[in-house]
Every structure is written in C-alpha cells, then in structure tokens.
C-alpha cells in the first residue's frame, strides 16, 4: 500500500486549503458522499450530503465536512478514488494525492496569533463534540420513534385481525337463522367460558357479548314465531286429515264391532299375561307403584299400558343405544320393528318421530305410526305440538334424552323415559 493509501489529512491541513481549491474539493466531496453505499451511516453524513455546495464552502459547514474527511474511513476513501480519477486537480491539492504534507500558509502580520487560533480551535472542537452528541441523541430518538411506529403498526395489525374475527362472528350469527340449535349451544359454551374468565374480561368484550346475545335472542324469537305459525298450520292440516280418516275408520269398524270386541278382549288378556309386574295408573303424569324404582326396566314397562300413547324421539334413541349405526336408513330399519314388538306386547299405541328431509309425511308401518317432520322443523317441535294437541287427561309417555325437549314437556306433565332405560325394554 502506498503512502497516499495510508495517510489521511488532518483537520488543520484541510482547514488550511485556500478558498478556490476548497471550492473545487467541495464539488468532489459531495459527489463522493452521494456515491457511498447505504450501509455507511454517520450522524453527520446525511446532513452534509443534503447541504448545498455554497454552504460547505465556509463557516461551520466547512469545518464539519473537513472533520468528516479527517476521520478517514469510507468518506475519505471514496474522495481519494475520485481525486485519482480526476484530470483537473488543482496544484494546491497535489499533496493529497502523493501523501505529502502541505506547505504551511504564512499568516499576515496583523492576523490572529497562534494562541488565539488554537483557543478558537479548542472552542470549535468543544462545540463540535456537543453537536455530535446532540446528533447522536437525535439518532437515538429517531430509533425510539421508529420502534414506537413499528409497535403501533403491530397493534394496528392485531386490531385489523380482531376486526376480521368480529366480522366472522357476525357472519356466523346471521347463519343462525338456518341452524338455530348449534348457535344456541355455541352461545351457551361462550357464556360458560366468559364466566370462567370474568375477572380478565374487558368492558368492551362484555358489551359486545351482550349485544350478540340480545341479537341472538331476537333471532330465536323470530324463528320460533315462524316455526310456530308453520307448525300450527301443519298440525291443523294433519288434524283435519286424521278426523276424516277417523270418520272412515269408525264406519268400517262399526261393521266389525262384534268380532273385533271379542278378539281385542282375547288380545288384551294375552298382553296382560305377557306384561308381568306393576302397572302405572293412567294420568298426567301417571302414578307408578311405590316399590318401582324410577329409571329401571320395571319402571319403563310399568308405563307401557294399553291406556298410554308412546312417543319416541327416533334419532335420539338410536344414537344413544346404537351409536355404531351411522346410516340414517339403517337407524330407522333397526328401531321400527323393535318399537312395533313393544307396542304389540304391551298394547300401547306408538308413534316414532323422525327429523325430516323434505315435506312433512306420516305413514303406518307394522302398526306403528312414523312421523317425518318437514325439513325446516325439528322433531322436538313436532312432539311438543302433538302433546299439546292431545287431551289434557290422555296418558302420554315420551322417550328422549334431549334436555331441551324434556324442559319444554315439563308443563304438560307427560311421563318421560330415558333412551337407555327404553333400550332395555327393546332388549338392547
């Protein structure tokens, strides 16, 4: 490496350059600062790069530029490269290329003394140190401001994410019109979770939850009203059809009354012999003998008498006692003959209620009525309306594990059997 490569001019040498040569050097220095790679950063670098050339010719700006070059490093190395490539370097700057020391400039006799110049230089150096410290403080403040901006951007991103999630929750709430039961279960789950986390919940979340619950309640009321209106119309049509069918049946049965009475008496005697054990007295609800334990097989059989009507929540029973059956038709084919056998054995009038997939239909198979609800009506609603339609003193047994349905039937005082207990009667 040559001497020019290793020697960096001092601050005094740079400040001693005559004004004309310094003007030429300023032009080259500004070009060098702009060609530095972005990885090179100094608190003064950006300020000097943005300063116009005329400000760098004299005053504090000249001293700042001279101090930056006197530090060496990338700014001085880039300037030296441009100087070597230039063809019009002033003769007064030749010492910068060959690494020599410039000749001192003689001061006029009436100029300041060396002591005065040195004092001024120390004062300027002190000011420069304070300026550098202030620039570093500004740099740190800008860094902290950048961190705050990044933190603000992260918070804004999280807020947008929460807004997207809130929009998704509102969309799910709108879907509740088509699937009310899952929404109710989800609301109950959220309420339980909110109860566990009540201490940490914020007031904003609480307000949002209350608003959603109020909206869901409104939707439930609207859907229930629509379902009740549709169900009442369907029940009225079904009742009219049953009345017409009953009139036809009465006319037919009148012709066979004599023989039917004898045969029915024989069948009832046979059934009573088959149904051994205690029998419940008919009523709403029925009175079961004290020695019969509720929930037992004996309790289930005691409630199945010729005086009772048996309503079976079809899919609820099958999913409880035969969870291995996943095909809908297989579930129906499994339950129907078993309910028919129980109805024939105990002389009870049985109806199986199924959730439907189309229009509401009803048919009799193996002396058991199968009721298929409309696609937009739950079997629970059909059972409740059927119970409400019956006479208040008609003994009715409903088989279901659905707690919501059980609560709705409580006011009608019907007899309730659990699916597992009824499965024992079915022989499962």
**pLDDT digits over 149-200, tens only?**
999 989 889 988 888 988 888 888 888 788 888 878 988 888 888 788 777 7
The per-residue pLDDT for 377 is 83
**Last-in-domain residue among 100, 122, 157:** 100
Residues 212 and 308 in one domain: no
Residues 389 and 287 in one domain: yes
R_g over Cα of the chain = 49
**Is residue 334 assigned to a domain?**
yes
The per-residue pLDDT for 427 is 83
DSSP secondary structure letter of residue 183: H
What is the pLDDT confidence band of residue 287, given thresholds at 50, 70 and 90? confident
Over range 231-250, report the average pLDDT: 66
Residue 380's nearest CA partner among 174, 177, 180, 175 is: 180
Residues 286 and 388 in one domain: yes
Domain count, the chain: 3
> How is 105-133 classified by DSSP, letter by letter?
PPPPTTS--HHHHHHHHHHHHHHHHHHHH
The per-residue pLDDT for 3 is 40
Residue 274 pLDDT > 80, yes or no? no
What is the pLDDT confidence band of residue 272, given thresholds at 50, 70 and 90? very low
Distance (Å, rounded) from C-alpha 290 to C-alpha 231?
A: 39
What is the pLDDT confidence band of residue 247, given thresholds at 50, 70 and 90? low
The per-residue pLDDT for 49 is 86
Strand (E) or helix (H) holding 274? helix 257-274
**Is residue 263 assigned to a domain?**
no
Residue 307's nearest CA partner among 285, 289, 290, 277 is: 285
Over range 237-248, report the average pLDDT: 65
The per-residue pLDDT for 98 is 84
Residues 344 and 413 in one domain: yes
The per-residue pLDDT for 309 is 93
Question: 223: domain range?
Answer: 180-235
Residue 238 pLDDT > 60, yes or no? yes
**Is residue 395 assigned to a domain?**
yes
Residues 190 and 318 in one domain: no
CB 26 within 8 A of CB 53: yes
* Residue 311: burial class (beta carbons within 10 Å; 0-12, 13-18, 19+): buried
Higher-scoring residue by pLDDT: 200, 329: 329
Distance (Å, rounded) from C-alpha 175 to C-alpha 173?
A: 5
Higher-scoring residue by pLDDT: 234, 11: 11
Residues 300 and 229 in one domain: no
Residue 113 pLDDT > 70, yes or no? no
**Last-in-domain residue among 76, 100, 124:** 100
The per-residue pLDDT for 270 is 42
Residue 324 pLDDT > 70, yes or no? yes
Neighbours of 184 (CB within 10 A): 14
3-state secondary structure of 294: coil
Residues 297 and 412 in one domain: yes
Alpha carbons within 13 angstroms on the beta-carbon side of residue 168 total 6
Q: What's the mean pLDDT when you consider all of the chain?
A: 82
Six-digit token string for 192: 């339980």
pLDDT digits (tens, 9 = 90+) for 17-63: 999 999 999 999 999 988 888 776 677 788 888 888 888 998 899 99
CATH number, domain of 329, equals: 3.40.50
**Last-in-domain residue among 198, 214, 235:** 235
**Is residue 169 assigned to a domain?**
no
Residue 235's nearest CA partner among 386, 398, 418 is: 386
**Is residue 40 assigned to a domain?**
yes
pLDDT digits (tens, 9 = 90+) for 415-428: 999 999 999 888 87
Distance (Å, rounded) from C-alpha 221 to C-alpha 216?
A: 9
**Is residue 164 assigned to a domain?**
no
Residues 230 and 288 in one domain: no
Residues 222 and 294 in one domain: no
**Is residue 56 assigned to a domain?**
yes
**Is residue 115 assigned to a domain?**
no
Residues 19 and 84 in one domain: yes
Residue 271 pLDDT > 60, yes or no? no
Distance (Å, rounded) from C-alpha 226 to C-alpha 220?
A: 10
Over range 241-270, report the average pLDDT: 53
pLDDT digits (tens, 9 = 90+) for 405-414: 999 999 999 9
Residues 403 and 308 in one domain: yes
Residues 216 and 315 in one domain: no
């Amino acid at each position: 490496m040559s001497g020019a490569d290793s020697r960096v001019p001092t601050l005094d040498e740079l400040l001693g350059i005559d004004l004309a040569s310094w003007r030429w050097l300023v032009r080259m220095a500004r070009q060098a600062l702009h060609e530095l790679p972005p990885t090179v950063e100094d608190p003064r670098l950006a300020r000097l790069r943005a300063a116009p050339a005329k400000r760098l010719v004299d005053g504090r700006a000249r001293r700042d530029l001279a101090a930056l070059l006197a530090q060496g490093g990338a700014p001085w190395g880039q300037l030296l490269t441009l100087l070597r490539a230039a063809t019009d370097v002033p003769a007064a700057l030749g010492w910068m290329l060959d690494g020599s020391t410039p000749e001192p400039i003689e001061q006029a006799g009436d100029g300041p003394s060396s002591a005065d110049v040195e004092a001024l230089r120390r004062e300027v150096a002190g000011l420069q140190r304070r300026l550098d410290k202030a620039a570093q403080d500004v740099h740190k403040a800008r860094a902290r401001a950048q961190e705050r901006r990044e933190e603000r951007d992260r918070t804004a991103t999280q807020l947008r994410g929460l807004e997207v999630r809130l929009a998704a929750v509102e969309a799910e709430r709108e879907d509740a019109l088509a699937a009310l039961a899952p929404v109710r279960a989800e609301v109950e789950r959220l309420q339980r979770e909110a109860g566990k986390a009540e201490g940490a919940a914020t007031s904003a979340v609480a307000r949002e939850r209350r608003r959603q619950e109020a909206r869901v309640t409104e939707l439930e009321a609207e859907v229930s009203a629509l379902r009740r209106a549709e169900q009442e119309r369907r029940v009225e049509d079904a009742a009219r059809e049953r009345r017409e069918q009953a009139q036809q049946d009465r006319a037919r049965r009148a012709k066979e009354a004599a023989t039917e009475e004898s045969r029915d008496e024989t069948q009832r005697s046979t059934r009573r012999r088959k149904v051994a054990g205690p029998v419940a007295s008919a009523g709403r609800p029925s009175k079961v003998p004290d020695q019969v334990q509720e929930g037992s097989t004996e309790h289930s059989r005691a409630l199945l008498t010729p005086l009772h009507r048996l309503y079976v929540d079809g899919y609820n029973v099958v999913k409880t006692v035969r969870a291995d059956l996943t095909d809908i038709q297989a579930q129906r084919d499994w339950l129907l003959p078993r309910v028919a056998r129980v109805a024939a054995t105990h002389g009870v009038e049985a109806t199986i209620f199924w959730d439907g997939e189309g229009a509401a239909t009803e048919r009799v198979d193996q002396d058991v009525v199968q009721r298929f609800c409309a696609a937009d009506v739950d079997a629970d609603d059909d059972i409740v309306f059927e119970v409400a339609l019956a006479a208040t003193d008609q003994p009715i047994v409903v088989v279901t594990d659905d707690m919501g349905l059980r609560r709705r039937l409580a006011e009608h005082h019907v007899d309730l059997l659990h699916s597992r207990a009824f499965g024992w009667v079915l022989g499962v």
